[in-house]
Chains A and B, each alone.
Chain A
């Protein structure tokens, strides 16, 4: 009666066909599609073309392609928002290549170099550390960023498992990464069957005679529709029956494994979204299909992605336009990401500095911008431990979100203590560089053998301000020079050469807290 997942997935293909056919015959699925068609028809038919007959769309809401030419600030904005990097070389290259080529490059998936893979895997299921290595060193920053996006939206914690089930966090991360830029429908199917998710939201403990509503509720509230959108408490009861049948079993001492037990799936009809669809014998795949057939589902993803990449205030019209594209692309995620990154709205004033970087985003932008890496023997252990703790104390421990709703957002990140703990996280690499010698991004600074010249203080400040794209006033420059001088205790150019790096580190770290950097 237990089949393994692979066999069972073959089986469900048949089930699925049968279901879809059944739906078509009694009109259930068609009923679900109707509102979408109706909405398209009623939208004046301008198809999102800003130049069409409708009202003009403000730039901040325009999904039309932006100009291909990028200035340095545009390129910096694009790279930071899309890939959490502001590395000067990358910025220069984006300016040279233009928007289309840069987005193409960002979206191209590259193989992870063996050395980085080995380093990441050396941490096994020590998840925050393993993922931090991949986040910082991996060659696919946009894909990793999307993986983090989904991790926040489908927030699942490793804290519900331990011991032999610890590797489930790896499985979960790989599932997120595989699907992050893939097909949303497939993603939802794999998410539903993910063993860590089955533990986290009790999907693996939902027998047909006593279904658990936990997963069903979050599936609609957080994963597909939004709170109190469309679904009712009755839908949750019915949906929970549709999601029955998934179990977790264990062979010997292996981690838990999902299986489908037909005898534990409620095979009777479920009446879900009664105004939209007829009762049918839904299983988890067909309930996903039913959900995606509702226009609210595509709009939910469209709104979330717009807010994540562009700014917090998309208009309903823009959301609908993006949602229509999403449906037309059969729920492929990558084309929507491309539309957003290339849109006029993306480069509008409203989008610039509209995000408060989370602690992990802030750290990644900082380290990537300065081109600092995890490479020494030391940084593979000691620093990563400290970094993990600093980021946790700053409010964000990957693979351990505070709850099913994921992390806090926007200005809610500005808790005093969280902010202060970021400072430690930012300084961590520089503070304990290779062989625990203080390290600095020397390639971005005037040569150290000139640091005993008085005028070099200003050069250092301006060089780093340039890297962070900070247009400093004279007063601000003076304050940074004071920090280099350590408040007049000993002027930087007179300081012991051994002490100078620490002064520079303090100045860089302070700059990275500027509202123009943390606000990205």
Chain B
């Protein structure tokens, strides 16, 4: 696979240079910034050039509704309304006591084809029940949010700056929105203001370092917009869904040296009527993810893609009267892709775990992301997570990539 990767890089480098030439023609002559910005599209040195897709399931994924210990009577007793029965799940081929919710059928398929790893009971020490704070901990990768400069940027943005400092190294579907519209917001007939924004920034000289930094930012934005628009124009999906995974596939197809794509699905905070909520939510995530995998396969990129699903915390073991589940603690992280070491990881949910108020945690989420950074992207994760004296249990217990 490693030779395939470098071949892929070479090919795309060439196709970019070709596309870059087209872009250059559309710009005013003498735009000094262009050459500098364009030269930064190169793939990172030292890394694998693989793609890591981060899918945040915001609100708190109920791990027991994804992978149900459906044969466990404690599970069924604590969840008279919400417990999944044998009919509701597809039992794991290698462990008949656990089954993936049929609303996540595609995940079961991937599991069967050895392309899905489930890291069970993941969180971070001294769990915080606030969505906001817990999401920030997953975002920044540090527990003590105040203690360190690390909170100036997400861990994935810090990773980009540290190892592949390119303008498009990390893209968030939510901040890009529709890439066909990305750039200076403009209501003129022919994007006159958008074009002027970039031209003025490149044309002006002088000023102090702050002013130059401002103009470089504008030039970068302009370039990013032009490239995103041009290079996503011909993207066609294999399916009809137009959710966040569609955006992620669009961005992946643009081939801008991107190594991390972040996307987010909300709605997992199911305090009430959880069955009704999941009936819509789970199949939607499942189907849009399946479409993404098909799109990525059509782009020839699946071999070098890993998708990681994570959530800020799990939910309570016992259902409430609504019936739903309140904020809990441990939840599962899910890794999908041909490169993952498929199967169950972490600590399987036991009767003792189910008798707790919430699932505890056995694996620190940073250990999982560290494995992704080290063994999938090929970078040292230490400068990313071990900041400001921060320490964590670095053991997942098993290799997540084969």
Tell yes or no: A268 within 8 A of B by CB. no
Residue-wise, chain A 469-485 has the 8 Å CB interface mask toward B (1 for contact) of 00001011001101101
Tell yes or no: A50 within 8 A of B by CB. no
Are A506 and B214 interface neighbours, CB within 8 A? no
Tell yes or no: B175 within 8 A of A by CB. yes
* Interface size range of chain A in the complex: 35 or more
Are B192 and A414 interface neighbours, CB within 8 A? no
Tell yes or no: B196 within 8 A of A by CB. yes
Q: List 21 A-B contacts (CB under 8 A).
A: A353-B207, A353-B208, A355-B210, A356-B214, A402-B151, A405-B146, A405-B151, A411-B210, A416-B220, A420-B184, A420-B221, A423-B184, A480-B196, A482-B196, A483-B196, A490-B189, A506-B188, A510-B197, A510-B200, A514-B200, A515-B215
Tell yes or no: B386 within 8 A of A by CB. no
Q: Which residues of B contact A (CB under 8 A)?
A: 132, 145-146, 151-152, 175, 183-193, 195-197, 199-201, 203-204, 207-208, 210-215, 217-218, 220-221, 224
How distant is the Cα of A262 from the Cα of B192 in the complex, in angstroms? 68
A361 to B: closest C-beta gap in Å: 14
Q: Which residues of B contact A423 (CB under 8 A)?
A: 184-185
How distant is the Cα of A353 from the Cα of B200 in the complex, in angstroms? 18
Q: Which residues of B contact A441 (CB under 8 A)?
A: none
Are A487 and B210 interface neighbours, CB within 8 A? no
Are A476 and B175 interface neighbours, CB within 8 A? no
Q: Which residues of A contact B201 (CB under 8 A)?
A: 515
Choose one: B188, B207, B217; the contact of A486 (CB below 8 Å): B188
Ranked 4 nearest A-B pairs via Cβ: A487-B192, A515-B214, A515-B211, A487-B190
A393 to B: closest C-beta gap in Å: 9
A160 to B: closest C-beta gap in Å: 9
Given contacts A486-B189, A514-B200, contact A419 B146 (CB under 8 A): no
A59 to B: closest C-beta gap in Å: 15
Q: Which residues of B contact A503 (CB under 8 A)?
A: 188
Residue-wise, chain A 40-54 has the 8 Å CB interface mask toward B (1 for contact) of 000000000000000
Who on chain A is nearest to B151 by CB? A403
Choose one: B175, B186, B207; the contact of A417 (CB below 8 Å): B175
Residue-wise, chain A 487-520 has the 8 Å CB interface mask toward B (1 for contact) of 1111000000000001100110110011110110
Are B186 and A506 interface neighbours, CB within 8 A? yes
Q: Which residues of B contact A261 (CB under 8 A)?
A: none
A146 to B: closest C-beta gap in Å: 22
Q: Which residues of A contact B204 (CB under 8 A)?
A: 476, 515
B266 to A: closest C-beta gap in Å: 17
Choose one: A408, A483, A488; the contact of B152 (CB below 8 Å): A408
Are B217 and A416 interface neighbours, CB within 8 A? yes
Choose one: B145, B190, B193, B217; the contact of A419 (CB below 8 Å): B217
Q: Which residues of B contact A518 (CB under 8 A)?
A: 214
Are A416 and B193 interface neighbours, CB within 8 A? no
Who on chain A is nearest to B200 by CB? A479
Tell yes or no: A116 within 8 A of B by CB. no
Q: Which residues of A contact B210 (CB under 8 A)?
A: 353-356, 410-411, 515, 519
B139 to A: closest C-beta gap in Å: 11
Are B187 and A502 interface neighbours, CB within 8 A? yes
Are B190 and A416 interface neighbours, CB within 8 A? no
B264 to A: closest C-beta gap in Å: 14
Are B214 and A485 interface neighbours, CB within 8 A? no
Choose one: B188, B196, B214, B224; the contact of A519 (CB below 8 Å): B214
How distant is the Cα of A475 from the Cα of B202 in the complex, in angstroms? 12
Are A489 and B214 interface neighbours, CB within 8 A? no
B306 to A: closest C-beta gap in Å: 25
How distant is the Cα of A218 from the Cα of B147 in the complex, in angstroms? 10
Q: Which residues of A contact B145 (CB under 8 A)?
A: 403
A461 to B: closest C-beta gap in Å: 12
Are B199 and A479 interface neighbours, CB within 8 A? yes
Q: Which residues of B contact A356 (CB under 8 A)?
A: 210, 213-214
Who on chain B is nearest to A510 by CB? B193
How distant is the Cα of A510 from the Cα of B203 in the complex, in angstroms? 14
Q: Which residues of A contact B203 (CB under 8 A)?
A: 473, 475-476, 479
Q: Which residues of A contact B221 (CB under 8 A)?
A: 416, 419-420
